[in-house]
């Protein structure tokens, strides 16, 4: 999809479709008002006759409206003006794009981007419009014999009023495109099945990203990890025929001695549970257990596309968790890269076993901050559902920063506690710690486990078990939390105009 910024009167816009909003009271937005005026109150008549009631989600398509230069005018209902906030804005964009993709229009001029949203800037409206448009048009049909038809819609002009500085709108557009690109990559990797998206596939993907964007890439093989002493990570790989990989990517947009932000993404390309085998129902969804990895790869791609002036390192421990004759067994004890020993009481709590070694590995990059992203616990789905990702941190200011960026991005997280009181649940009779802490507060004890490997830096952990993908009829990866992470980086780079 091609996007461009336009500041032109809506009635003069030569376009296949001009999209304008109408509130529930029948009140016209500025752009709708301009068309109404030039068309001798055509829109007012449509509303008066009950053909558009302004309810959120409603649409009315008009052709050959007098006094306009466009072929069609699409009216989009916005709901009550007083309640028109971030979420409603996003919903209006989504409604418009869903409608447009099924019309004959090859291009459209979206005037919804001119509608004020409380406390949000023009830059925010443009970024969100691009991200949401691309999200709405995403398709994953590479394994369907019958491909979907190509969209006729090829170009969207985003309207801004004349007061808006063009550079601001253009920069927001570029950021939106980059973020959307990162989200799409994360979704595609998530949607790929486990027989294709293996640890080796993720490593190849990382190498491709590195080649496309001039990043440094290093992939540690099993033997490298053995020499280093990453026995916790390696213990998860024992049941699988797929060799494990530890993927490292460096983006260097900052000064040579700027400390990097390090992102660590859980890359279990399929989680059967291992010897602590999961029940069969819905197990296919465990192909999404690499969505943390997908999100950090998407994020570094977006950072490179935006050429952010900062240094970013991404680490992806990637393993397939399978049962097998050589697989780890409950009760096995391993020594992690940190030297701490772990009693594996449940082989299905494997995410923390690969992440702990990756976190210790992160120390060598002297990070300014580390965030790990993982589909870590079913308990997080119970706690927060599919709305917010769970956020844990060893620094409250850092947690607040990430929460704020999640809200800015419309990709929210919620802060959960990491109090010492929970650490006791990880006690083991035979090793330094157990890898599970029992049923109560399962997400917290998982985070507590990780915290023991994150003592040397500012660290946060995002549990995306409930947010990384959707189940049911709309089953598929969401690309979350690429939006949160990219906004965090934009903010760190001083590039977030809001
Ligand atoms: N990948 C799963 C977590 C998960 C489960 C995410 C369901 C989304 C939906 C993780 O590896 C796991 O199996 N966790 C266990 C931990 C338990 C054994 C302590 C869980 O949540 O049941
Ligand atoms: Mn598991
Ligand atoms: Zn898992």
For residue 225, the model assigns a pLDDT of 99
For residue 437, the model assigns a pLDDT of 98
Dihedral of the CA atoms 123, 22, 39, 68 (nearest 10)?
A: 40
**Complete DSSP assignment for 244-300:** PEEEEEEEE-S-TTSPPEEEEE-EEEEE--TTSPPPSTTGGGGGGGGHHHHHHHHHH
- The residue whose two tokens read 């099945």 is 193
Average pLDDT for 255-264: 98
Q: Which residue among 293, 342, 378 is best mutated to probe the pocket of ligand 1, counting the most ligand atoms within 8 A of its Cβ?
A: 378
Ligand 1 neighbourhood includes 274 CB (under 6 angstroms): no
Bond before 371 cis per omega within 30 degrees: no
Q: How far apart are CA 121 and CA 289, in angstroms?
A: 36
How remote is the CA of residue 289 from the centroid of ligand 3, in Å?
5
Ligand 1 neighbourhood includes 283 CB (under 6 angstroms): no
Q: What number of helices (H) and strands (E) belong to the chain?
A: 14, 20
Catalytic residue among 27, 101, 259, 278: 278
pLDDT at 205 over 80: yes
pLDDT at 124 over 90: yes
Atom 7 of ligand 1 has which residue's CA nearest to it? 378
Ligand 1 neighbourhood includes 351 CB (under 6 angstroms): yes
How remote is the CA of residue 272 from the centroid of ligand 2, in Å?
7
pLDDT at 450 over 90: yes
Average pLDDT for 197-214: 99
Q: How far apart are CA 448 and CA 433, in angstroms?
A: 11
Domains and CATH numbers, the chain: 2-160 (3.40.220.10), 180-492 (3.40.630.10)
Atom 17 of ligand 1 has which residue's CA nearest to it? 349
Atom 13 of ligand 1 has which residue's CA nearest to it? 348
Q: How far apart are CA 1 and CA 147, in angstroms?
A: 18
Ligand 1 neighbourhood includes 348 CB (under 6 angstroms): yes
Q: How far apart are CA 335 and CA 462, in angstroms?
A: 25
pLDDT at 149 over 90: no
Which of 272, 464, 232, 194 minimizes the C-alpha distance to 361? 232
For residue 266, the model assigns a pLDDT of 99
- Report residues near ion ligand 3: CB below 5 Å: 268, 271, 289, 351
Residue 31: exposed, middle, or buried by beta-carbon count in 10 A (0-12, 13-18, 19+)? buried
Q: How far apart are CA 141 and CA 75, in angstroms?
A: 31
pLDDT at 24 over 90: yes
Ligand 1 neighbourhood includes 465 CB (under 6 angstroms): yes
Ligand 1 neighbourhood includes 463 CB (under 6 angstroms): no
3-state secondary structure of 400: helix
Q: How confident is the model at residue 440 (pLDDT cuts 50, 70, 90)?
A: very high
Q: How far apart are CA 346 and CA 278, in angstroms?
A: 11
For residue 497, the model assigns a pLDDT of 79
Atom 16 of ligand 1 has which residue's CA nearest to it? 349
Average pLDDT for 453-473: 99
Ligand 1 neighbourhood includes 442 CB (under 6 angstroms): yes
**Phi-psi region at 390: left, alpha or beta (left = phi > 0; alpha = psi -120 to 50):** beta
3-state secondary structure of 63: strand
Average pLDDT for 126-137: 98
Strands 311-321 and 245-252 come out as antiparallel
Q: How confident is the model at residue 148 (pLDDT cuts 50, 70, 90)?
A: confident
Q: Which residue among 350, 377, 450 is best mutated to probe the pocket of ligand 1, counting the most ligand atoms within 8 A of its Cβ?
A: 377
How remote is the CA of residue 268 from the centroid of ligand 3, in Å?
6
For residue 433, the model assigns a pLDDT of 99
Ligand nearest to the CA of 435: 1
**Phi-psi region at 259: left, alpha or beta (left = phi > 0; alpha = psi -120 to 50):** beta
Q: Is 98:472 a contact under the CB 8 Å cutoff?
A: no
Residue 37: exposed, middle, or buried by beta-carbon count in 10 A (0-12, 13-18, 19+)? middle
In 322-457, which ranges are continuous DSSP H helix? Answer: 351-362, 378-384, 396-409, 442-451
Please work out, in degrees rounded to the nearest 5, the angle formed at the alpha carbon of residue 286 by the alpha carbons of 280 and 292: 165
Query: In the Cβ-directed half-sphere of 217, how many Cα atoms lie within 13 Å?
Result: 21
**Complete DSSP assignment for 52-91:** ----TT-EEEEES-TT-SSSEEEEEE---GGG--HHHHHH
Ligand 1 neighbourhood includes 354 CB (under 6 angstroms): no
Catalytic residue among 72, 125, 352, 412: 352
Q: How confident is the model at residue 20 (pLDDT cuts 50, 70, 90)?
A: very high
| Token output for 136 | 């709405």
pTM above 0.85, yes or no: yes
Ligand 1 neighbourhood includes 77 CB (under 6 angstroms): no
Please work out, in degrees rounded to the nearest 5, the angle formed at the alpha carbon of residue 353 by the alpha carbons of 291 and 182: 20
How remote is the CA of residue 146 from the centroid of ligand 3, in Å?
33
Ligand 1 neighbourhood includes 159 CB (under 6 angstroms): no
Ligand 1 neighbourhood includes 380 CB (under 6 angstroms): no
How remote is the CA of residue 465 from the centroid of ligand 1, in Å?
8
Q: Is 278 a catalytic residue?
A: yes
Q: Is 480 a catalytic residue?
A: no
Which tens digit of pLDDT belongs to each residue from 61-112?
Answer: 999 999 999 999 999 999 999 999 999 999 999 999 999 999 999 999 999 9
Which of 128, 138, 32, 33 minimizes the C-alpha distance to 88? 128
Report the share of the chain in percent with pLDDT over 70.
100
Please work out, in degrees rounded to the nearest 5, the angle formed at the alpha carbon of residue 131 by the alpha carbons of 284 and 460: 65
Q: How far apart are CA 275 and CA 236, in angstroms?
A: 10
Average pLDDT for 302-324: 99
How remote is the CA of residue 478 from the centroid of ligand 1, in Å?
18
Sign of CA dihedral 205, 209, 211, 216: negative
pLDDT at 179 over 80: yes
Ligand nearest to the CA of 379: 1
- Which atom of ligand 1 is the closest one to the Cα of 442? 19
Q: How far apart are CA 105 and CA 12, in angstroms?
A: 17
Average pLDDT for 369-386: 98
- Which atom of ligand 1 is the closest one to the Cα of 376? 3
Residue 361: exposed, middle, or buried by beta-carbon count in 10 A (0-12, 13-18, 19+)? buried
Which tens digit of pLDDT belongs to each residue from 212-225?
Answer: 999 999 999 999 99
Q: Is 135:180 a contact under the CB 8 Å cutoff?
A: yes
Average pLDDT for 388-404: 99
Ligand 1 neighbourhood includes 291 CB (under 6 angstroms): no
Q: Is 427:433 a contact under the CB 8 Å cutoff?
A: yes
The overall average pLDDT reported for the chain is 98
């Amino acid at each position: 999809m091609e996007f461009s910024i336009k500041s032109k009167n809506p009635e003069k816009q030569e376009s296949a479709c001009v999209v304008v909003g109408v509130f529930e009271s029948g009140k016209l937005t500025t752009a709708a008002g301009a068309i109404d005026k030039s068309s001798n109150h055509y829109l007012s008549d449509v509303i008066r006759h009950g053909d558009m009631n302004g309810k959120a989600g409603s649409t009315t398509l008009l052709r050959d409206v007098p006094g306009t230069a466009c072929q069609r005018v699409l009216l989009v209902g916005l709901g009550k003006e007083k309640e028109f906030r971030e979420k409603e804005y996003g919903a209006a964009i989504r409604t418009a794009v869903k409608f447009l993709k099924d019309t004959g229009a090859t291009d459209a001029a979206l005037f919804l981007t001119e509608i004020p949203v409380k406390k949000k800037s023009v830059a925010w409206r443009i970024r969100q419009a691009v991200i949401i448009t691309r999200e709405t048009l995403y398709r994953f049909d590479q394994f369907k014999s019958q491909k979907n038809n190509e969209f006729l819609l090829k170009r969207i002009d985003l309207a801004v009023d004349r007061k808006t500085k063009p550079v601001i709108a253009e920069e927001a557009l570029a950021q939106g495109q980059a973020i959307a690109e990162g989200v799409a990559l994360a979704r595609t990797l998530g949607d790929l099945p486990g027989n294709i998206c293996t640890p080796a596939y993720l490593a190849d993907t990382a190498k491709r990203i590195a080649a496309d964007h001039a990043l440094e890439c290093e992939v540690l093989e099993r033997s490298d990890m053995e020499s280093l002493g990453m026995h916790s990570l390696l213990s998860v790989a024992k049941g699988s025929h797929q060799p494990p990989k530890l993927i490292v990517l460096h983006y260097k947009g900052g000064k040579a001695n700027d400390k990097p932000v390090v992102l660590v993404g859980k890359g279990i390309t399929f989680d059967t549970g291992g010897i602590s085998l999961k029940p069969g129902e819905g197990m296919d969804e465990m192909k999404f257990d690499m969505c943390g990895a997908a999100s950090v790869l998407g994020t570094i791609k977006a950072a490179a596309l935006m050429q952010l002036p900062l240094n970013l390192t991404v680490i992806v421990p990637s393993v397939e968790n399978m049962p097998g004759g050589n697989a780890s067994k409950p009760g096995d004890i391993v020594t992690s890269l940190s030297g701490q020993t772990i009693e594996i009481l449940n082989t299905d709590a494997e995410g923390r076993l690969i992440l702990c070694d990756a976190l210790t590995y992160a120390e060598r990059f002297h990070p300014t901050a580390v965030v790990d992203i993982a589909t870590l616990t079913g308990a997080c789905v119970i706690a927060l559902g599919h709305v917010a990702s769970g956020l844990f941190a060893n620094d409250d200011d850092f947690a607040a920063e990430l929460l704020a960026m999640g809200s800015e991005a419309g990709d929210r997280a919620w802060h959960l506690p990491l109090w010492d009181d929970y650490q006791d649940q990880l006690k083991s009779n035979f090793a330094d710690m157990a890898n599970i802490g029992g049923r109560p507060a399962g997400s917290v004890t998982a985070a507590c486990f990780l915290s023991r490997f994150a003592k040397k830096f500012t660290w946060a952990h995002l549990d995306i078990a409930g947010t990384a993908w959707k189940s049911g009829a709309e089953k598929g990866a969401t690309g979350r939390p690429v939006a949160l992470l990219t906004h965090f980086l934009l903010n760190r780079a001083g590039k977030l105009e809001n």
